[in-house]
Amino acid sequence: EYSAISCRAHSASITEYGGVGDGATLNTKAFQDAVNQLSRQYGSNGGAQLVVPAGRWLTGSFNLTNHFTLYLHRDAVLLASQDINEWPIIDPLPSYGRGRDAPGGRYISLIFGSNLTDVVVTGDNGTIDGQGALWWQQFHRKKLKHTRPYLIEIMHSDNIQISNLTLVNSPSWNIHPVYSSNIVVQGITIIAPVTSPNTDGINPDSCTNTRIEDCYIVSGDDCVAVKSGWDEYGIAYGMPTKQLIIRRLTCISPYSATIALGSEMSGGIQDVRAEDIVAINTESGIRIKTAVGRGGYVKDIYVRGMTLHTMKWVFKMNGDYGSHADNNYDPNALPVIQGINYRDIVAENVTMAARLEGISGDSFTGICISNVTIGMANKAKKVPWTCTDVEGITSNVTPPPCQLLADQGPQKMCDFPKESLPIGTTVFQKCSYSTMKYL
């Protein structure tokens, strides 16, 4: 049994479509044939699930379909093909205007879907192995003509579940829901070398009503990065990320953030609620990244209950992140950063409590930090807080914050919304598949 937003009336194994799980046979056609045939037969009649049994299943990219479940057995490993020809080029995201690694198009993700509804990618903790070393090498050698693929990308879709899987060695980002709504990402383990480039964990991008929970992420970039488009392209597309829950996340990322907001936030980010977060040996606890030219906003951000150990910074805000899509950004497009609430945080072995840098003439406002205890490392910076172009208040924070964040005495508690978001109460069904038939 497993939990899902929808159960399916019909089930089939990839072996019925010619799949061979020997780690050497290429199964791209088998996967795409299976999805297409199941869609035709059952798409409008109870939906279908495709079961991937134990084995090592080498495949290139394939597209999902509506009312569909992809289920990975605990001993199933999807191996991403190392033949670059197995990865078609698709258009850049309209809210980015170009690829992240190179101008122009991008390689399609390993598991991809667009304009879909009611899709589940799950398993009994089966594995998706991106075999990313080849791509990381090409990136470092500046040999890439297009942007690296992600492991799972779902675009323009609604009612999506990605759960109970282990993702390893992604070429770039791991999970990327974009221009989508009503998304649950749950029980995911993500592992990549901490030096691997841009192996972000989970990046909700211009999405509404998203829930990320019970995930364990070790990566070379931000464990969760909240995004909504890049400079003038993101401003023009105008689709924010809002109503986002992040809870029970464990992160290890020595060179990046536990949770990052931005830097591509030009469509706006609003109403993010993060709680019960653990990070170890990670660069920062929560980070806001933006720049002149981004426009957009980051507002109504609520974080409570973080436990952090061995950090460079607990809080970081950068108004000078740079990194522009091109030189056509509007220098008058200033981001609005306001209503940032952090509370109930304990950190140990910290190099610097906070580095908060707004934009001159565009201060980051409405910052509230309360009930925070930061134990400094033996080799900590002499000045634990640095603040420029920020405004706000603090209460019961150790070591004492900078003067721009005026101490309100011990009674003030920063906000965290009491009412729940719709996605926070999604009801799951108990689903099953016939084990005798496939395993």
Exactly one of 221, 231, 271, 344 is catalytic; name it. 221
Radius of gyration of the chain (CA): 22
User: What does the DSSP 8-state code read for residue 422?
Assistant: G
What value, to the nearest 5°, has the Cα angle with vertex 378 and ends 218 and 284?
30
Inter-CA distances, 380 with 78, 123, 232, 349, 377, Å:
44, 44, 39, 8, 5
Is 221 an active-site residue? Answer: yes
Do β-strands 68-72 and 117-123 pair in parallel, antiparallel, or remain unpaired?
A: parallel
Q: What is the per-residue DSSP string for 218-236?
A: E-SS-SEEEB-B-HHHHHH
User: What does the DSSP 8-state code read for residue 202?
Assistant: B
What is the token pair recorded at 232? Answer: 């003038």
CA separation for the pair 17, 219 (Å, rounded):
35
Contact predicate 409/383, CB 8 Å:
no
Contact predicate 232/333, CB 8 Å:
yes
CA separation for the pair 62, 131 (Å, rounded):
16
Q: What is the per-residue DSSP string for 100-150?
A: SSSSS-EEPPSEEEES-EEEEEEESSEEEE--THHHHHHHHTT--SSBPPP
What is the token pair recorded at 239? Answer: 């689709």
CA separation for the pair 388, 367 (Å, rounded):
13
Contact predicate 227/241, CB 8 Å:
yes
Active site residues per annotation: 221
